[in-house]
């Protein structure tokens, strides 16, 4: 696994470039700029307006100007850069991360770490082969409150956990019916699509709405589901499922969205069951919050939301509760420490791939309408006829490799 880079010591400065700075990427540019001995030297985006946002985020913290570039490959060619932070849309996550690793960079890739199951496997293989640290933006893995709650589960506070329920509820609006048109002058749409096979530009696709199209996104399951399923898998200490079943669809709006807005997916493991319930149009979740995981063991229940954990005994009596806050900073420093000192980050790509794979399997079960039997050693389909769903086609010259 990754060992400390020969050239980086604890006090050395690390230099990062951020790819995709419209929303999350600007938050990451700011957050990494706040880390000790880290410089965000480049912000990369194919939207010229977003570059200004990324530069402003860095300047707000450091007072200095980052270099803005349209093509992130310029940053990969720059030997002074140690890290690529990937916050472009999902179809870019694994391809850009792999190019970065092959160019000798460490990678912080936003969730989900891949667009298809095969991309996750290839990204993991790249990180191992090139000995680069690769972590995913599943920041709860490093947040002290979440870490403490999961340690409670692992030390037996609720006994043998056999069931976990993850939920997400939000009131999202419709995205309308887009018109095919030429892309605006501020956007390099060919490079926005990058590794994807070409599809015409529509005026309601960029930004964010790509999440709800299979060609570029992974739906709510691959958006907020991956966060919750990662916490559930971490708590339950399970890797790959034996069976995945999905129910739901796109019920709320008659618009261009393709992915499910009402979705229940279940993942069976050896005598353990995990369920994800996603509602993208109704904000009332469980426990007064739109996001959480309930772990049920044979000695009690632990409810974990982003502000507290609560432990109940088998008579539903509250026996322990602790409030906490949510911060991304510990996740950034965990990644940076691994670059400097070696070791695996809390959301190492080997774990990130397994959690992301659950989302892919849930979406494949949904799209095929099949109950998927899977190999518990690697998550692959037992039924070979489904193998076409493991990967996808790429634009010529962009096929990912190890
Ligand atoms: N960890 C978290 O809590 C968290 C929160 C929000 C978003 N995210 C993830 O971050 C990613 C970005 O989300 P967002 O809401 O900012 O999306 P967005 O669509 O608003 O922004 C994506 C940006 O990437 C840019 N981009 C596309 N192709 C590019 C390329 N080739 N080079 C450089 N930039 C390119 C786009 O122009 C855009 O500015 C998503 O994958 C999302 O899942 C994670």
- Which tens digit of pLDDT belongs to each residue from 177-215? 999 999 999 999 999 999 999 999 999 999 999 999 999
Angstrom distance (rounded) from CA 61 to CA 287: 36
Residues 158 and 38 in one domain: no
CA of 118 to the centre of ligand 1 (A): 21
Angstrom distance (rounded) from CA 397 to CA 49: 28
Q: Report the number of distinct structural domains present in the chain.
A: 2
Q: What's the first-to-final CA gap in the chain, in angstroms?
A: 16
- 309 within domain boundaries: yes
Residues 334 and 375 in one domain: no
Is 196 in contact with 11 (CB distance < 8 Å)?
no
Angstrom distance (rounded) from CA 30 to CA 61: 7
Residues 160 and 112 in one domain: no
Residues 250 and 334 in one domain: no
Positive/negative CA dihedral, 249, 255, 259, 261 = negative
- 339 within domain boundaries: yes
What is the Cβ-side half-sphere exposure of residue 76, based on CA atoms within 13 angstroms? 17
Closest residue by CA, ligand 1 atom 12: 87
Q: Ligand 1 test: best mutation among 24, 30, 225, most atoms within 8 Å of CB? A: 24
Nearest ligand 1 atom to the CA of 206 is 19
- Residue 93's contacts (CB-CB under 8 Å, 6 or more residues apart) are 86, 109, 110, 112, 113, 114, 115, 119
Residues 60 and 102 in one domain: yes
Angstrom distance (rounded) from CA 333 to CA 64: 21
Q: What pTM, to 2 d.p., does this model score?
A: 0.97
Angstrom distance (rounded) from CA 138 to CA 178: 32
As for ligand 1, residues whose beta carbon falls within 6 Å of it are 19-25, 44-47, 50, 72, 87-90, 92, 110-111, 137, 139, 191-192, 194, 207-208, 223
Residues 129 and 267 in one domain: no
Residues 45 and 120 in one domain: yes
Is 284 in contact with 297 (CB distance < 8 Å)?
no
- 97 within domain boundaries: yes
Tokens 């849930």 identify what position? Answer: 362
Q: Residue 63, Cβ neighbours under 10 Å: how many? A: 7
Angstrom distance (rounded) from CA 298 to CA 300: 6
- 233 within domain boundaries: yes
pLDDT digits (tens, 9 = 90+) for 352-389: 999 999 999 999 999 999 999 999 999 999 999 999 99
Closest residue by CA, ligand 1 atom 25: 20
DSSP per-residue codes, 85-135: EE-S-HHHHHHHHHHHHHTT-EEEEPSSS-SSHHHHHHHHHHHHHTT--EE
Angstrom distance (rounded) from CA 389 to CA 368: 9
Closest residue by CA, ligand 1 atom 4: 24
- Give the C-alpha distances (Å, rounded to integers) separating 99 from 105, 108, 264, 307, 391: 9, 13, 35, 37, 18
Residues 126 and 232 in one domain: no
Residues 135 and 145 in one domain: no
**Which CATH number belongs to the domain containing residue 282 in this structure?**
3.30.360.10
Element (H, E) at 236: helix 226-236
**Residue (of 34, 35, 39) closest to 13 by Cα position:** 39
Walk along the chain (402 residues) and give the pLDDT tens digit of each residue.
444 445 566 678 999 999 999 999 999 999 999 999 999 999 999 999 999 999 999 999 999 999 999 999 999 999 999 999 999 999 999 999 999 999 999 999 999 999 999 999 999 999 999 999 999 999 999 999 999 999 999 999 999 999 999 999 999 999 999 999 999 999 999 999 999 999 999 999 999 999 999 999 999 999 999 999 999 999 999 999 999 999 999 999 999 999 999 999 999 999 999 999 999 999 999 999 999 999 999 999 999 999 999 999 999 999 999 999 999 999 999 999 999 999 999 999 999 999 999 999 999 999 999 999 999 999 999 999 999 999 999 999 999 999
Nearest ligand 1 atom to the CA of 89 is 41
Closest residue by CA, ligand 1 atom 21: 22
- 263 within domain boundaries: yes
Return the beta strands (E) in 313-389 as ranges.
318-323, 372-373
Residues 297 and 169 in one domain: yes
Determine the structural domain holding residue 89 and report its residue range: 14-140+330-348
Residues 113 and 255 in one domain: no
**Which CATH number belongs to the domain containing residue 337 in this structure?**
3.40.50.720
Q: Give 3-state DSSP helix, strand, coil % of the chain, rounded to 5.
A: 35, 25, 45
**Residue (of 339, 355, 358, 333) closest to 142 by Cα position:** 333
Nearest ligand 1 atom to the CA of 71 is 32
Residues 341 and 367 in one domain: no
Write down the number of H helices and E strands in the chain: 10, 15
């Amino acid at each position: 696994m990754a060992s400390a880079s020969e050239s980086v010591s604890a006090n050395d400065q690390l230099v990062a470039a951020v790819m995709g700075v419209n929303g999350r990427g600007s938050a990451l540019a700011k957050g990494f700029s706040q880390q000790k001995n880290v410089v965000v030297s480049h912000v990369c985006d194919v939207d010229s307006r977003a570059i200004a946002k990324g530069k402003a985020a860095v300047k707000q913290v450091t007072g200095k100007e980052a270099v803005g570039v349209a093509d992130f490959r310029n940053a990969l060619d720059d030997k002074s850069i140690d890290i690529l932070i990937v916050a472009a849309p999902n179809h870019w996550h694994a391809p850009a991360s792999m190019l970065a690793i092959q160019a000798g960079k460490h990678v912080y890739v936003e969730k989900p770490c891949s667009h298809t199951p095969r991309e996750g496997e290839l990204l993991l293989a790249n990180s191992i082969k090139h000995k680069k640290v690769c972590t995913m933006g599943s920041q709860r893995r490093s947040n002290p409150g979440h870490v403490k709650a999961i340690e409670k589960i692992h030390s037996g506070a609720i006994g043998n956990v056999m069931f976990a329920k993850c939920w997400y509820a939000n009131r999202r609006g419709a995205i309308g019916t887009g018109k095919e048109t030429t892309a605006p002058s501020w956007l390099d749409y060919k490079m926005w699509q990058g590794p994807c096979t070409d599809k015409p530009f529509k005026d309601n696709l960029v930004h964010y709405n790509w999440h709800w199209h299979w060609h570029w996104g992974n739906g709510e399951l691959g958006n907020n589901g991956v966060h919750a399923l990662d916490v559930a898998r971490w708590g339950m200490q399970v890797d790959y499922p034996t069976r995945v079943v999905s129910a739901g669809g796109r019920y709320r709006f008659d618009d261009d969205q393709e992915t499910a807005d009402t979705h229940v997916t279940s993942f069976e493991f050896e005598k353990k069951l995990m369920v994800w319930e996603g509602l993208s149009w109704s904000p009332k979740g469980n426990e007064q919050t739109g996001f959480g995981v309930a772990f049920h063991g044979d000695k009690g229940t632990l409810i974990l939301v982003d502000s507290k954990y609560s432990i109940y005994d088998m008579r539903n009596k509250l026996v322990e509760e602790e409030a906490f806050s949510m911060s991304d900073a510990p996740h950034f420093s965990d990644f940076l420490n691994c670059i400097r000192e070696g070791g695996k980050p809390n959301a190492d790509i080997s774990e990130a791939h397994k959690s992301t794979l659950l989302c892919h399997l849930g979406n494949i079960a949904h799209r095929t309408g099949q109950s998927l039997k899977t190999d518990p050693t690697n998550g692959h389909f037992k039924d070979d006829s489904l193998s076409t769903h493991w990967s996808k086609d790429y634009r010529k010259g962009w096929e990912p490799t190890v």
